[in-house]
Structure 1
């Protein structure tokens, strides 16, 4: 048996041939999209007929897509990454579609990148670069990190990895998470209320999942609670942040600055007001992109698909309950 597999994750293509070669060696046909990713629901309904599995980016896997006649042959949505907020898990399960993801692979990668942004915004490194590129020589003043307070919103694997990296800076660590865990406590995190974290932190890192409850988690009231000398770093999901409030906070100097790697709409529109807001570092969702780790993830994504194709339960699945469903689309 062989499957037609649609790749909608640019990194699965760009980071090396490992994953594709694994699938092709098993007799699968890998189809590369010619569209700009992520795909809309309309694009998916056009491209998914005849496709058994998709390597997914942040495309719109809504209930309307997953239950449409055009996707009746779809057996698996394999996310390239750990987040799956773009997939309606309940609808996938009801339709008998297995949803795969890649937990744990990006913990250190994203934690490192979070710290890269934190240090860059604290010491205003991009502004120094801009000065030099312009042929000038003007120093830019920043803030110390050592012995300051770091607030971590979302203390799962990535948030805990961020906390572990703070030890060398002798920072006080505050955490907010509806499910406090011992790993974060062992890394030195003191769990507090969101209000306490906002009011006491010098740096706030968003590392929470974009669940329905977390959408707009940081809005105008939260930004106004922050210290005027504080910085916000978001390497999680754009949906966590009210971007209109963020623009006001930067323009009116409620906070010292922000480093943002993810946005509610990606790519970020060219005319979005965040692009001209002061005291901000903006990056095009670069946190996952490192060569060695990406190739490992490509192999894991391919193996997940091959396991399902060969009648085995994949190692990394979001909805294991689908295997008890009479609607399951694989044997």
Structure 2
């Protein structure tokens, strides 16, 4: 009987990787180990997956820099969920003979969470729910209206455009800006293009970020930009933490520069227990849930199985880099 290859699935927090996809076609070829806890310590991670020829990772939860490839000589296939993962050093993977494949991803889940957070902010849902459960005051806030208000989208790609359509359904004035956005693309995405980011920030009641993180967009929202927001405005970030200067955001929320923010993404994940973002005022925070739905996970893990199957057949698909 042939020896099975060893495969590790990392950061399966909910323990669903094996139940949301059919791994049975690989039963004779793979010995699969699921790791539910996040392993932040590099030495412990290496010890855990040292003998694995195949590793499946969830988004950017566990980065794969060059130094990690150096320490994993057995690794031959790395599967990342999604088709973009900036935390994987693709050049290092190639130099070590490691094939990196991605999976399909659905745009709808982050759109839906964006609106969950925006509505939660506007109607003070966490505060009012907590008061009800704890025997606090019955109605203590006055919600912000969406109808007739301006929704400013920083980025109007496949996710931003879907957010725009929902905003229009609420009767909002939807505007957008991004470095390369044209009037035609904005109109096709259901928004009016504004000439500058400053104009969007100064005039919007709700601002939602939907840019890809890169050299041009890192900290695109810093202290000067945050100070442009109206005192009654709200900021939502379900994209990447690096788009916003985190120190400036914390200061803005403590000092009340604007009404509030909702964030689903952080520089450090999982967020340390003593991190200030766990206790900042005016902040609605969720633990990077944007892509975490049953449908999306079925896509992620189902495509991971397909990637492994194709690789073992000598015909890898969705190869990155």
- Please give the TM-score of this superposition, normalised by the length of structure 2: 0.88
In structure 2, runs of 5+ residues without a counterpart are none
- Is 1:73 the counterpart of 2:113? The answer is no
Q: Offset of 1:174 from its aligned partner?
A: 2.4
1:109 aligns with 2:109: yes
- CA contact 1:152–1:174 (8 Å) conserved in 2: yes
Question: How many angstroms does 1:83 deviate by?
Answer: 4.6
User: Displacement, 1:15?
Assistant: 5.4
What aligned pairs does 1:35-50 form with structure 2 within 5 A after superposition? 36-37=37-38, 39-50=40-51
User: Could you tell me how far apart the structure 2 residues matched to 1:71 and 1:277 are?
Assistant: 40
Query: Secondary structure, in 3 states, of the residue corresponding to 1:174?
Result: strand
SS at match of 1:246: helix
For residue 132 of structure 1, what is the aligned residue in structure 2? 132
Distance in 2 between the 1:20 and 1:50 partners?
A: 24
CA displacement at 1:153 relative to structure 2 = 2.0
Q: CA deviation at 1:82?
A: 5.0
For these two proteins, the number of residue pairs brought into alignment is 314
Alignment map for 1:49-64 (pairs within 5 Å): 49-57=50-58, 58-64=61-67
Partner residue in 2 for 1:158 = 159
SS in 2 for 1:292: helix
Alpha-carbon distance between aligned partners in 1 of 2:83 and 2:252, rounded to the nearest angstrom? 30
Change (3 A) 1:30 1:16: closer
Matched, 1:231 2:234: yes
Query: In structure 2, what is the equivalent of residue 285 of structure 1?
Result: 288
Residue matched to 1:28: 30
Q: Greater RCO between the two (CA within 8 Å, min separation 6)?
A: 1
Q: CA deviation at 1:10?
A: 0.8
Q: Aligned equivalents of 2:109 and 2:267: distance in 1?
A: 22
CA distance 1:22–1:185, shift in 2 (3 Å) = farther
Other structure's SS at 2:235 match: strand
SS in 2 for 1:42: helix
- Output the CA distance in 1 between the equivalents of 2:159 and 2:66: 29
Report SS of the residue matched to 2:21. helix
Cα distance in 2 between the residues matched to 1:228 and 1:40:
42
Q: Does 1:8 align with 2:13?
A: no
Q: Deviations over 1:245-287 (max 9, x none)?
A: 1111111111100011111111212222222221111111122
More helix by share: 1
